[in-house]
């Protein structure tokens, strides 16, 4: 789990699809009869949504399996004995707890030593349900930006209904209250960071013309305590065509570092340091990813080769340099970690005396500790369980304590504490489903261009290879994000416990083998990701594990687009397709919500040469009334302000108009995850797995 301070914009999104191209004139707004469904809160659009929701609820909610799954999912989500993942701030652990009595959640704290010793008495800092009732808002906790070193006040991010948009309010954790006349920033997709106790820098919506076409702030200002935004002084601004400006900071080595990221595109960032002397531009590769600070060292994950002073630092490497020396005019870059062609950096944590790295070796997690010994980063081996997924949870540079978890698809996660000398298991989550007899294997498929694509498969050890096993294939394949084999109680209960086979396809576009793996499925190479996904399905068929009548495809966000491509390009391979929070109308995606920020991944549909290849994988434009499609299930949320719900709405409406049957479920709140409470989430997953069971098991 990456802890990239408060600086890293966490935007997990999208994927794409092929078909038969359509001319710009045919896809113009005037020619789109379902454009009205893009009106998110429009009365006519919501009437259509409710009508479709009613159809799906009548189909699935009355099924015995639906009721059974919903009840079991809620038991898991509300279980008071589940593993608690800590957010470490100094000598205090924080955690957000949700259950049936606390739907919005309790934000709470405990001393680190008490947490490690297994105590269960938490000190509630903020009751989100009480706050929601008092303010008539559906508050969802979106994190906090701390003022170090004492971490007694923070800038608290709260979202109404789970949207990406948040309000930011100054909060005193010792007094457990919002600070009277403290900093308050209105709702936007903005960010704020501490400069000192009485000054913050704020990127937000300052009014007309202050947001980019991607929907993010283009102006950063300095706010002084007591003056609010009215007298704020502009620190930096950029063009509306850029993605936006994001701010964040961290307290490290006795100093508060405040950063400004000017993102030209999703993958090109100019980085600045802001302090009492003003703004300092850091002359770094635009595509390098900031991975936080360790003491005075700034850490970068290189996405391309960096040639500096005659030395080449290869892409995929983690490098570091002393930022104080850099500001004084000297830069001395040191290599921390270099992967090979079958390995990659996944995430890291920074402790007082070392950094902890989670790396992938042939899509299997390994842990490494690196210490800075006089400018040379020395690796120490760390023994951890084999064949599974490590998730780095939390650390703090005030000590050497760090937390991580390990799981695989049939082994519940165990929370561990490390300190650079030993690893101690703190708690193992109980088994939420019957995994007896299940086995995890890793196979390889060969894609259309000969590239070898690894995938994980989970099934009963006594499976009969007769092609009749219900199989669900999941993929993402975008934005340099790796898909790993981890434990999911929801998936185990809803699918594997009942005999379903589960497949994780490690297709190109992800980060499983570093930047090159991602870059090989960007823009005009996008079809590679889809061919990889199809190759995995065909390999499963060739092994006689399953066959199209028993096979389903599933993807969310960028993976939702992947599922849309699977539906339209290879309907012959699947009998069920779940299309979650998807991107589907690739002609208009760059004009819908945050869509413009993803053109670095997919291309610009307004450029004829780029639309030429985008049009071939745009699901919305490649539907045909003359093709028989598997009956899909669309899932989205009205409150998703990242991927516009209009994508799913319009695709479904177009299919209905063509006479194709489908199911549609739209949660009225919930953001990009399509749910903001445990009850909503349980209902959503129960519907999905009931649909899959009916389609692929006949139950």
Secondary structure in 3-state letters for 478-509: CCCCCCCCCCCHHHHHHCHHHCCEEEEECCCC
Q: DSSP state, 61? A: T
Token output for 115: 């947490």
Using the predicted structure, report yes or no on whether residue 6 has a pLDDT greater than 60: no
Cis peptide before 149 (omega within 30 of 0): yes
pLDDT tens across 107-164, in order?
A: 999 999 999 999 999 999 999 999 999 999 999 999 999 999 999 999 999 999 888 9
548-604 per-position pLDDT tens digit:
999 999 999 999 999 999 999 999 999 999 999 999 999 999 999 999 999 999 999
DSSP, res 531: H
Out of 145, 350, 557, 597, which one is annotated catalytic? 557
The secondary structure of residue 320, as a DSSP letter, is: E
Rounded Cα distance, 463 and 697, in Å = 15
Q: Which of 644, 647, 660, 672 is catalytic?
A: 672
Residue pair 221/207 in contact (Cβ under 8 Å)? The answer is no
Q: Look up residue 176 and give its two tokens.
A: 């457990």
Predicted pLDDT at 698:
65
Note the pLDDT of residue 187: 96
CA distances (Å), origin 214, targets 241, 406, 456, 607, 672? 8, 37, 36, 17, 16
Per the annotation, the verdict on 672 as an active-site residue is: yes
Distance from CA of residue 80 to its chain's centroid? Answer: 26
Fold of 29-74+435-696: Rossmann fold (3.40.50)
pLDDT above 90 for 19: no
Across 199-242, where does the E strand assignment appear?
199-203, 219-224, 233-237
pLDDT band at 200 (very low <50, low <70, confident <90, very high): very high
Instruction: Report residue 168 as tokens.
Output: 């930011």
d(CA 81, CA 551): 35
Q: What is the mean pLDDT of residues 88-100?
A: 95
Residue 382 has pLDDT above 90, yes or no: no
Question: Going by DSSP bridges, is the β-strand pair 471-474/452-460 parallel, antiparallel, or unpaired?
Answer: unpaired
* CA 544/CA 547 separation, integer angstroms: 7
Report d(CA 663, CA 647) in Å as an integer.
15
Q: Which residues contact 230 (CB under 8 A, 6 or more apart)?
A: none
Helices (H), 475-629: 489-494, 515-519, 527-542, 558-569, 599-602, 608-614
CA–CA distance, 643 with 630 (Å, rounded to integer): 24
**Backbone torsions φ then ψ of 339, nearest 5 degrees:** -80, 165
Calculate ∠ Cα 658-571-569, nearest 5°: 90
Q: How confident is the model at residue 17 (pLDDT cuts 50, 70, 90)?
A: very low
- The span from the CA of 643 to the CA of 651, in Å, is 14
Mean pLDDT of the chain: 93
Is 557 a residue of the active site?
A: yes
């Amino acid at each position: 789990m990456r802890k990239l301070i408060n600086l890293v914009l966490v935007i997990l999104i999208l994927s794409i699809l092929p078909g038969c191209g359509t001319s710009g004139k045919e896809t113009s707004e005037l020619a789109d009869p379902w454009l009205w469904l893009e009106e998110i809160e429009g009365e006519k659009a919501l009437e259509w949504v409710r009508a479709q929701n009613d159809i799906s609820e009548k189909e699935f909610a009355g099924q015995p399996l639906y009721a059974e799954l919903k009840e079991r999912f809620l038991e898991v989500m509300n279980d008071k004995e589940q593993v608690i993942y800590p957010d470490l701030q100094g000598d205090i652990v924080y955690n957000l707890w949700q259950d049936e009595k606390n739907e919005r959640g309790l934000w709470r704290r405990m001393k680190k030593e008490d947490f490690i010793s297994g105590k269960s008495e938490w000190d509630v800092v903020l009751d989100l349900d009480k706050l929601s009732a008092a303010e008539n808002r559906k508050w969802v906790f979106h994190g906090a930006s701390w003022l170090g070193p004492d971490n007694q006040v923070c800038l608290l991010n709260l979202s109404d209904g789970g949207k990406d948009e948040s309000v930011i309010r100054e909060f005193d954790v010792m007094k457990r209250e919002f600070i009277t006349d403290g900093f308050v920033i209105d709702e936007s997709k903005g960010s704020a960071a501490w400069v000192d106790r009485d000054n913050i820098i704020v990127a937000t919506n300052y009014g007309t013309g202050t947001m980019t076409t991607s929907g993010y702030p283009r102006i950063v200002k300095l706010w002084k305590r007591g003056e609010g935004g009215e007298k704020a002084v502009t620190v930096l601004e950029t063009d509306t065509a850029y993605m936006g400006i994001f701010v964040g900071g961290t307290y490290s080595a006795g100093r508060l570092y405040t950063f400004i990221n000017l993102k030209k595109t999703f993958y090109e960032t100019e980085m600045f340091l802001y302090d009492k002397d003003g703004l300092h531009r850091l002359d770094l590769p635009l595509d390098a990813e900031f991975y936080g600070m360790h003491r005075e060292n700034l850490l970068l994950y290189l996405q391309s080769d960096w040639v500096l002073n005659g030395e080449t630092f290869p892409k995929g490497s983690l490098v570091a340099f002393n930022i104080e020396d850099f500001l004084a005019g000297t830069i001395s870059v040191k290599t921390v970690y270099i992967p090979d062609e079958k390995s990659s950096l996944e995430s890291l944590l920074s402790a007082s005396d070392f950094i902890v790295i989670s790396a992938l070796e042939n899509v299997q997690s390994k842990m490494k500790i690196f210490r800075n010994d006089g400018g040379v980063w020395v690796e120490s081996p760390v023994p951890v369980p084999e064949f599974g997924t490590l998730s780095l949870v939390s650390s703090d540079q005030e000590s050497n304590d760090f937390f991580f978890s390990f799981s695989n698809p049939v082994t519940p996660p165990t929370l561990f504490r490390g300190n650079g000398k030993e690893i101690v298991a703190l708690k193992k989550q109980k088994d939420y489903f019957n995994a007896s007899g299940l086995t995890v294997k890793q196979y390889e498929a060969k894609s259309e261009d000969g590239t070898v694509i690894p995938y994980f498969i989970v099934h009963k050890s006594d499976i009969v290879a007769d092609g009749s096993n219900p199989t669900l294939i999941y993929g993402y394949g975008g934005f340099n994000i790796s898909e790993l084999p981890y434990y999911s109680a929801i998936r185990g209960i809803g699918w594997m416990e009942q005999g379903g086979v589960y497949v994780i396809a490690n297709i190109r576009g992800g980060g499983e083998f570093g930047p090159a793996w991602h870059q090989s499925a960007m823009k005009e190479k996008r079809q590679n990701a889809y061919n990889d996904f199809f190759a995995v399905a065909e390999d499963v068929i060739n092994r006689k594990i399953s066959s199209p009548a028993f096979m389903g495809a599933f993807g969310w966000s960028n993976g939702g687009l992947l599922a849309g491509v699977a539906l339209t390009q290879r309907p012959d391979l699947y009998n069920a397709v779940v299309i979650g929070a998807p991107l589907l109308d690739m002609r208009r995606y760059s004009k819908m919500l945050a869509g413009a920020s993803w053109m670095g991944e997919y291309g610009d549909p307004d450029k004829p040469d780029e639309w030429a290849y985008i049009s071939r994988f745009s699901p919305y434009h490649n539907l045909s009334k003359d093709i028989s499609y598997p009956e899909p299930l669309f899932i989205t949320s009205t409150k998703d302000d990242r991927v516009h719900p209009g994508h799913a709405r319009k695709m479904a409406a177009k299919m209905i108009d063509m006479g194709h049957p489908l199911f549609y479920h739209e949660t009225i709140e919930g953001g990009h995850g399509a749910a903001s409470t445990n009850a909503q989430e349980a209902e959503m997953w129960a519907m999905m797995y009931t649909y899959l069971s009916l389609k692929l098991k006949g139950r």
